[in-house]
Amino acid sequence: MTTPTHTGTKPLPLAALGALMLLGAAAVLPLVAGASVVDKATTLLVYLLLATSWNLLAGYAGLVSVGQQAFFGLGGYFALRLVDGGVDAWPALLLGAAGAALAAWLLSFYVLRLKDGEFAVATWVLAEAIRILVMLDPLVQGETGTSLIALNAVEPTLRRNLAYALALAALAGVSLLLWWLLRSPTGLAARALGDDDEAAVSLGVRAMRTRQLIYVVAALAAGLAGVIWLASAITFLPRTNFGVQWSVLMLFMVLVGGLRSIEGPYIGALLLFLLQETLGHLGAWYLAGLGALAVACALWLPDGLAGALRRWRGRPLISLGGHLPASTPVAVERRHTP
């Protein structure tokens, strides 16, 4: 098994300084930009949330899910249900994301016992089943959908800026959480499982518990993205909020940006956003171009643009470092299929 090894962390201070500068510039954006720019920036932040969470799940833990749209949609749905029950809109959005994470924890006891293709198919099937169940709720009104009426009462500029602020805070918080998690013993164990799960288990890694935590954290990030989308768009349409296109976009961003790298999802999300803004009007040709780009990266840049940048620089932009201890005092726990 190839375990992560310490490769030095000298690039981190410069990267951290750059991140702080970007965060500061992003924080003042609503003060200097118009409504359309703030809306587009919110969309970019949602993409960044989704890309970083899917990279954690598939890139580091080896859990290739095509059902993360379930938690994106559930975040918004739970928020709608809470508001309908009398909870204020903004707290309901945060609680909705937490509800998506709770749903992921419950589902993890089943889906994480499946491997590889079985896991991928099961996550997609569950996402579709959840979408159908949500559509049966009279509040959602089937395919017609509904809207978060409570936010319609908020002055549009204020609502737009609050949604943007929530997105920025969520991305900053999730990014810090993932950085800490991937350098923690649990993160090191997840990285080892992503390399070779059988060898990791033989070293004493608790596969089920480790993957459960990763799965729940990724669902929390997807749930946050879902409630931010709802706060920005107001409308909730099951076919949109639970659409498989979200998983397709996650796969594209991470594959093109660079799987199993810290900077890869950010590069991929920014590239997708720029392509949408410049070529989105081409319709089917735009989608075909995205597919061709993804295939080209898979063939000639298997480690994505971040990998190409790493080879050019001779070192990664951001190094996680760390290694899995040879003797981990935990019980061995093997996965099995039902």
Model pTM? Answer: 0.88
pLDDT of residue 224: 98
- Left, alpha or beta for 331 (phi > 0: left; psi -120 to 50: alpha)? beta
pLDDT of residue 81: 96
pLDDT of residue 334: 38
pLDDT of residue 20: 83
Other residues' Cβ atoms within 10 Å of the Cβ of residue 263: 18
Dist. CA 273–CA 263, nearest whole Å: 16
Handedness of CA 165, 40, 16, 71 (dihedral sign): positive
Q: Which helix (H) or strand (E) holds 146?
A: strand 146-147
Dist. CA 323–CA 298, nearest whole Å: 28
Dist. CA 57–CA 54, nearest whole Å: 5
pLDDT of residue 256: 95
Dist. CA 202–CA 196, nearest whole Å: 10
What is the C-alpha R_g of the chain? 20
pLDDT of residue 12: 55
pLDDT of residue 15: 66
Q: List beta partners, residue 273.
A: none
Q: What is the DSSP letter of 283?
A: T
| Residue entry with tokens 């940048």 | 309
How do the domains of the chain map onto residue ranges?
Answer: 19-243, 244-319
pLDDT of residue 17: 79
pLDDT in tens, the chain (338 residues): 444 444 444 445 666 777 788 888 889 999 998 999 999 999 999 999 999 999 999 999 999 999 999 999 999 999 999 999 999 999 999 999 999 999 999 999 999 999 888 999 999 999 999 999 999 999 998 888 999 988 888 899 999 999 999 999 999 999 999 999 998 999 899 999 988 888 888 888 888 999 999 999 999 999 999 999 999 999 999 999 999 999 999 999 999 999 989 999 999 999 999 999 999 888 889 989 998 999 999 899 989 999 888 888 877 777 666 555 444 433 334 344 34
CA-to-CA separations, 335 to 110, 327, 338, in angstroms, rounded: 11, 20, 10
pLDDT of residue 321: 62
pLDDT of residue 9: 44
Other residues' Cβ atoms within 10 Å of the Cβ of residue 25: 10
